[in-house]
């Protein structure tokens, strides 16, 4: 039981919440770019938050469900259709066997997530199914998905679904995203910026460059200058670290970032803003807002509480729905 890729997308892969505990060995955690969308995709079908999902970009893969399954699509809106019928995102869907999922139009966002009930059977490496492209581990042979790849489901039960059906509840996503405003805290080398550049960081918009990928988003905008151009010792970096490049432009490290870096770390995107950042596309503009560590923690805790409430509500609705079937 599973699905088959009948037309490959531009850069689609299996990801989960990441591979932690190995950065001292030079192994990046990796994982999904948008944790919120991935968690909600799993929540909608009753999975644990960390189950592997398909992460897709536009143009995305065309997928054949060889067996019936409950699925959810979250994140970006790529105009999803099943057998030519438009389907809704952020809502659980019962899908019959031998149905075809296509993504027909880029409407909003840059990454879409597909979950299936109980998750996918994939290669697990160092406690994670996330695809490590550099090391060719995890996911499907450690690479992007290709035509004719078959991804089995953990759920081997025949759900006997005859017709496509949306279950009657949806997840509200608006409270988790901030309309391209990115909260950040000051970085270890922030004080090296000239005062006018410190002001420019929070008063200007910066465009996402076409030279952006899962390793990092390069930004284009007002040049930021250092008052002291001393050489920095290579230090630990993480998802969301904002570094200043020698050309006076910034790069924000993303899910597949290196584990150390020598460029000045002028800021750190807050965990709660990473999903918003993940969903911007090349050509989009973002703005930064400096927050304190305490403010960042409070926003993150509220976000986690909202996720827990959503999980509780979805679990209740699923139990009630299938109990009455």
Domain ranges of the chain: 2-173, 181-291
**pLDDT reported for residue 90:** 96
CATH T-level topology, domain 181-291 = Cyclophilin (2.40.100)
pLDDT-derived band at 298, boundaries 50, 70, 90: very high
The predicted pLDDT at position 161 comes to 84
Beta-carbon count within 10 A of 288 CB: 23
**Which of 219, 271, 212, 237 is closest to 28 using CA atoms?**
237
Residue with tokens 């799993």: 42
The reported pLDDT for the residue numbered 174 is 86
Average pLDDT, rounded, for the chain: 94
What is the SS3 assignment for 284? coil
Q: Which residues contact 130 (CB under 8 A, 6 or more apart)?
A: 14, 15, 16, 17, 18, 19, 29, 30, 31, 32, 52, 138, 139
Question: Tell me: the pLDDT tens digits for 36-77?
Answer: 999 999 999 999 999 999 999 999 999 999 999 999 999 999
- Angle formed by the axes of helices 35-44 and 293-323, nearest 10°: 20
pLDDT at 325: 60
The owner of tokens 């469900």 is 65
In this structure, the chain runs to a length of 325
Q: What is the pLDDT of residue 243?
A: 97
Q: Cβ contacts of residue 14 below 8 Å, gap of 6+?
A: 52, 53, 54, 55, 120, 122, 129, 130, 131, 138, 139, 140, 145, 151
> Taking residues 215-219, what's their average pLDDT?
97
What is the model's pLDDT at position 3? 96
**Per-residue model confidence (pLDDT) at position 324:** 66
Distance CA 235, CA 60 (A): 36
Using the Cα atoms of residue 156, residue 79, residue 146 and residue 139 in order, give the sign of their dihedral.
negative
Q: How confident is the model at residue 262 (pLDDT cuts 50, 70, 90)?
A: confident
pLDDT tens per residue across span 114-160: 999 999 999 889 999 999 998 999 999 999 999 999 999 998 777 77
Q: Tell me what pLDDT residue 182 has.
A: 97
Residue of higher predicted confidence among 319 and 113:
113
pLDDT over 80 at 107, yes or no: yes
Mean pLDDT of 3-20: 95
Q: Is the pLDDT of residue 162 over 90?
A: no
Q: What average pLDDT does this structure show over 228-232?
A: 74
As a whole number, mean pLDDT of residues 278-302 equals 96
- The yes-or-no verdict on residue 323 having pLDDT over 70 is yes
């Amino acid at each position: 039981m599973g699905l088959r890729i009948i037309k490959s997308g531009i850069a689609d892969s299996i990801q989960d919440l990441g591979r932690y505990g190995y950065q001292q060995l030079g192994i990046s955690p990796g994982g999904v770019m948008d944790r919120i969308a991935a968690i909600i995709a799993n929540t909608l079908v009753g999975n644990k938050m960390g189950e592997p999902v398909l992460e897709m970009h536009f143009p995305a893969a065309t997928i054949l469900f060889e067996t019936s399954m409950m699925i959810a699509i979250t994140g970006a809106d790529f105009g999803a259709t099943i057998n030519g019928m438009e389907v809704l995102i952020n809502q659980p869907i019962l899908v019959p066997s031998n149905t075809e999922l296509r993504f027909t139009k880029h409407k909003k966002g840059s990454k879409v997530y597909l979950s299936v009930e109980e998750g996918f059977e994939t290669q697990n490496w160092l406690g994670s199914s996330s695809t490590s492209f550099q090391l060719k581990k995890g996911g499907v042979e450690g690479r992007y998905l290709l035509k004719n790849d078959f991804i089995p489901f953990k759920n081997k039960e025949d759900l006997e679904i005859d017709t496509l059906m949306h279950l009657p509840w949806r997840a509200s996503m608006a409270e988790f995203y901030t309309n391209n405003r990115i909260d950040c805290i000051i970085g270890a080398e922030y004080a090296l910026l000239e005062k006018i550049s410190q002001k420019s960081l929070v008063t200007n918009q910066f465009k996402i460059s076409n030279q952006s990928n899962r390793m990092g988003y390069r930004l284009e905008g007002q040049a930021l200058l250092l008052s002291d151009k001393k050489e920095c010792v290579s230090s630990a970096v993480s998802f969301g670290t904002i570094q200043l490049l020698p050309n006076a432009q910034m790069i924000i490290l993303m899910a597949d970032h290196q584990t150390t870096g020598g460029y000045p770390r002028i800021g750190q995107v807050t965990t709660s803003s990473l999903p918003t950042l993940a969903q911007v596309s090349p050509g989009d503009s973002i703005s930064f807002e400096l927050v304190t560590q305490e403010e960042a923690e409070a926003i993150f805790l509220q976000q986690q509480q909202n996720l827990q409430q959503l999980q509780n509500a979805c679990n209740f609705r699923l139990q009630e729905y299938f109990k009455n079937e």
